[in-house]
């Protein structure tokens, strides 16, 4: 009774623990990794601002690195003549929060996941903690007129040249001074007023003026005339600016402006605006990066599927890790944007969503595409603020332009109508002799193009040997090429647009032979039985179309040099028995390549004592339960196969009735029974 009560108590404790575990499990918060990706992952963060204005998530260890890239000139650039109309010339530090390493022990030395940017819009103020997304430079507001008409990329090209040839892309101030003086000398000759002891502060101010000249059309010739020195602010000077002031080569906010400052700023300003525009060689993923070239629906071995040809307007290289996802209804698929998956030099990829029904492929249905991942670039970009409070991106926070190198998270998405799909072609694949349908034959579908035909996808014939393709109206010209014939069949390389395609069967062969050793009196009528089993489910000829592999199909399959009868013993499995005499062989032809084959020698009881089974079986595995030697051969059917079973004749005499074996068996049984009797006695 006590045992029973203890068992019941233990069961109740286990049930309570399981219930508690279930409650705790269901109460766990949602995995943050499943949240939607936000493309606005850059932020300007002022570590010295009030705590509520600091972007959450910036690790404490990172603050010194963030400050290092934030440079402010000792000059305001004034639009008018008053301090109220002045703007700060500075290099903001944009931080990519998705790329930050949160663990200080894992963080690299120096600035990481951050870079310098300049203001690109004098009409909007900077907002501490504002969030930005990176866009291609020719998508900036300055490339459009007030009515939204695109003006071309000239301004973007000039901006790229300015940023690529100034600080912080180039940190060697002496080099910048040399390049500017070279331009001034070539332009003005002996009358050139050269730069002397150029400072980082003067570079920042002149660069900012050059950028505003391009983006807003303001002429800042002789930019020093438009500046207001910090000294005039007197006691009202904010402590914030004095603490994070950029100092370089002895020029700080506390020093009196030098006479050379005006000349240096004007000369470097002229040099930057003289640079020829630089076209973008790299393109970052942006909101319009995805476009659909064509769609097609295919009914094949895997059911109905929709294949979408997607053009990705971006620079993709081997260091990038980006995934393209397509969704139709409840079904989705994804591929990596690798060189192997690219269909052409124009960044065209094919993505296939399988398992669809007719309701998913109506004219009103849509396919959703999304691209997420990491893209590595080394160029100049426009940074647009995240719209807030119903404002536009430009009105939400000051737009920026800057140099971005290295990896960064990217994301874009789009939804596209499937439209009317009209059946265009049907491929019917069959055996040239038996006319049996051939399932699992691979065909590549190509779309004709002047720039080189595009591989749209690979499809496999269904259980009826068919592939049916539906395309949008006026989709262009398509054709099929058999890419992978079934093993044992000759390929048909002729391009086809539809119809019946036949293949000639040239399957594998298998020769099984019997050898006797140490036997000088091998009788002609002495035979040995064998069983052969073929599992066609492992052969590509089968694939998942086993339901069409009927008895009639099997009956027409393997032929042999002996008269044997095959029997179906399982789904896709056939078996037969045959006999061989010494030095005799049987040859099977037309076996499906890739099928699993097992051949077992069925030794009679008396033969265990008359023959020693050796291990000389080519491709042999398994063992005889009595002799411990191999009696079974296992192999996968190839073009040419051969198996030899070898037995050695023993010199021991054959027992007449088998009685000598009985005492040995009885002794074993007695030895096994003794422990049982002793155990029973102890129990009693």
What kind and span of H or E run contains 560? strand 559-560
Contacts of 449 (CB under 8 A, 6+ apart): 344, 476
pLDDT for 615 equals: 42
- Span 85-109, mean pLDDT? 75
* E-state strands within 448-522: 454-460, 466-472, 478-484, 499-503, 508-517
Which residue in the block uniquely carries the two structure tokens 């040839």? 165
- CATH for 421-503 is 2.60.40.10
**Quick check: 671 pLDDT over 80?**
no
**Contact indicator for 211, 158 with CB cutoff of 8 Å:** no
421-503 and 508-649 have identical folds: yes
**Contact indicator for 143, 91 with CB cutoff of 8 Å:** no
- Span 119-135, mean pLDDT? 84
pLDDT for 44 equals: 76
Q: How far apart are CA 590 and CA 124, in angstroms?
A: 79
pLDDT for 224 equals: 64
pLDDT for 230 equals: 44
Q: How far apart are CA 371 and CA 411, in angstroms?
A: 5
Does domain 508-649 match CATH 2.60.120.10? Answer: no
pLDDT for 155 equals: 94
**Contact indicator for 373, 409 with CB cutoff of 8 Å:** yes
**Contact indicator for 434, 550 with CB cutoff of 8 Å:** no
Across 334-338, 373-377, 432-436, the highest mean pLDDT is recorded for 334-338
Determine what percent of the chain is predicted with pLDDT higher than 70.
69
Higher pLDDT, 620 or 45: 45
Q: What is the mean pLDDT of the chain?
A: 75
pLDDT band at 103 (very low <50, low <70, confident <90, very high): confident
- Span 240-265, mean pLDDT? 48
Query: 252-257 long-range CB contacts below 8 Å, 24 or more apart?
Result: 252/74, 252/201, 253/72, 253/74, 254/230, 255/74, 256/231, 257/74, 257/75, 257/229, 257/231
Higher pLDDT, 211 or 59: 211
**Quick check: 526 pLDDT over 60?**
yes
pLDDT for 578 equals: 92
Lowest mean pLDDT among 61-70, 194-203, 332-341, 523-532: 61-70
pLDDT band at 536 (very low <50, low <70, confident <90, very high): confident
- Span 24-48, mean pLDDT? 55
Q: How far apart are CA 327 and CA 333, in angstroms?
A: 7
Interstrand relation of 421-431 and 499-503 (parallel, antiparallel or unpaired)? parallel
Which residue in the block uniquely carries the two structure tokens 């000294």? 231
pLDDT for 94 equals: 84
- Span 57-86, mean pLDDT? 59
Task: Read off the pTM.
Answer: 0.62
Which residue in the block uniquely carries the two structure tokens 């349908």? 437
Contacts of 14 (CB under 8 A, 6+ apart): none
- How is residue 3 written in tokens? 């045992």
Radius of gyration over alpha carbons of the chain, in Å?
40
**Contact indicator for 298, 459 with CB cutoff of 8 Å:** yes
Contacts of 363 (CB under 8 A, 6+ apart): 417, 418, 419, 420, 421
What are 395-424's pLDDT values in tens digits? 999 899 988 887 888 888 999 998 888 777
Other CB atoms closer than 10 Å to residue 625's CB: what's the count?
8
**Quick check: 505 pLDDT over 60?**
yes
pLDDT for 663 equals: 43
Determine what percent of the chain is predicted with pLDDT higher than 90.
20
**Contact indicator for 410, 39 with CB cutoff of 8 Å:** yes
Q: How far apart are CA 144 and CA 133, in angstroms?
A: 19
**Quick check: 392 pLDDT over 50?**
yes
pLDDT for 130 equals: 85
What are 458-488's pLDDT values in tens digits? 888 888 888 888 887 777 788 899 988 776 6
Which residue in the block uniquely carries the two structure tokens 């720039």? 451
Task: Return the domain boundaries, the chain.
Answer: 42-119+166-274, 421-503, 508-649
């Amino acid at each position: 009774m006590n045992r029973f009560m203890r068992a019941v108590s233990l069961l109740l404790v286990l049930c309570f623990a399981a219930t508690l575990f279930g409650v705790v499990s269901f109460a766990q918060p949602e995995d943050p990794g499943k949240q939607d990706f936000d493309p606005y992952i850059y932020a300007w963060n002022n570590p010295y601002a009030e705590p509520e204005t600091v972007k959450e998530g910036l690790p404490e260890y990172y603050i010194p690195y963030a400050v290092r890239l934030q440079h402010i000139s000792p000059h305001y650039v004034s639009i008018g003549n008053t301090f109220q109309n002045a703007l700060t010339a500075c290099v903001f530090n944009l931080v990519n929060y998705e790329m930050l390493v949160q663990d200080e022990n894992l963080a690299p030395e120096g600035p990481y996941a951050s870079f310098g940017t300049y203001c690109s819009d004098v009409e909007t103020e900077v907002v501490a903690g504002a969030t930005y997304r990176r866009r291609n430079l020719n998508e900036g507001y300055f490339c459009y007129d007030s009515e939204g008409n695109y003006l071309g990329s000239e301004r973007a090209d000039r901006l790229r040249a300015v940023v690529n040839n100034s600080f912080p892309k180039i940190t060697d101030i002496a080099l910048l001074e040399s390049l500017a003086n070279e331009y001034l000398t070539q332009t003005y000759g002996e009358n050139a007023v050269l730069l002397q002891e150029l400072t980082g502060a003067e570079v920042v101010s002149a660069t900012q003026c050059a950028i505003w000249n391009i983006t807003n059309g303001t002429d800042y010739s002789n930019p020093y005339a438009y500046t207001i020195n910090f000294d005039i602010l007197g006691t009202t000077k904010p402590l914030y600016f004095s603490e994070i002031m950029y100092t370089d080569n002895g020029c700080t906010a506390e020093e009196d402006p030098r006479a050379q400052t005006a000349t240096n700023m004007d000369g470097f300003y002229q040099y930057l605006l003289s640079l020829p525009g630089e076209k973008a060689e790299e393109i970052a993923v942006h909101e319009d990066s995805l476009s659909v070239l064509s769609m097609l629906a295919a009914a094949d071995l895997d059911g109905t599927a929709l294949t979408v040809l997607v053009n990705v307007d971006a620079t993709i290289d081997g260091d990038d890790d980006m995934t393209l996802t397509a969704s139709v209804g409840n079904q989705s698929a994804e591929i990596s944007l690798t060189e192997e998956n690219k269909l052409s030099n124009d960044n065209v990829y094919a993505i296939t969503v399988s398992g669809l029904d007719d309701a998913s492929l109506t004219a009103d249905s849509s396919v959703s595409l999304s691209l997420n991942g990491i893209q590595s670039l080394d160029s100049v970009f426009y940074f647009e603020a995240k719209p807030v409070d119903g404002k536009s991106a430009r009105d939400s926070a000051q737009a920026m332009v800057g140099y971005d190198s290295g990896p960064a998270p990217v994301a874009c998405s789009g939804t596209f109508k499937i439209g009317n799909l009209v059946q265009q072609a049907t491929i019917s694949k069959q055996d040239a002799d038996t006319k049996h349908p051939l399932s699992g034959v691979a065909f590549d579908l190509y779309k004709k193009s002047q720039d080189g035909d595009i591989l749209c996808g690979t499809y496999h014939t269904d259980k009826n040997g068919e592939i049916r393709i539906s395309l949008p109206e006026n989709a262009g010209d398509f054709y099929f090429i058999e890419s992978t014939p079934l093993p044992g069949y000759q390929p048909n390389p002729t391009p086809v647009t539809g119809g019946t395609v036949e293949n000639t069967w040239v399957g594998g062969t298998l020769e099984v032979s019997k050898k006797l050793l140490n036997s000088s009196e091998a009788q002609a009528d002495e035979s040995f039985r064998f069983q052969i089993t073929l599992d066609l489910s492992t052969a590509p000829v089968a694939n998942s179309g086993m339901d069409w592999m009927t008895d009639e199909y099997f009956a027409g399959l393997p032929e042999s040099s002996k008269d044997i009868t095959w029997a179906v013993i399982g789904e896709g499995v056939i078996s037969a028995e045959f006999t061989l005499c010494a030095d005799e062989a049987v040859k099977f032809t037309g076996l499906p390549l890739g099928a699993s084959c097992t051949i077992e020698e069925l030794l009679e009881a008396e033969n265990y004592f008359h023959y020693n089974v050796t291990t000389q079986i080519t491709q042999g595995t398994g063992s005889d339960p009595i002799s411990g030697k191999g009696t079974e051969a296992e192999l996968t059917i190839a073009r040419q196969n051969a198996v030899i079973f070898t037995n050695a004749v023993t010199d021991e005499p054959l027992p007449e009735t088998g009685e000598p074996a009985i005492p040995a068996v009885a002794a074993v049984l007695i030895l096994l029974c003794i422990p049982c009797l002793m155990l029973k006695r102890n129990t009693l």
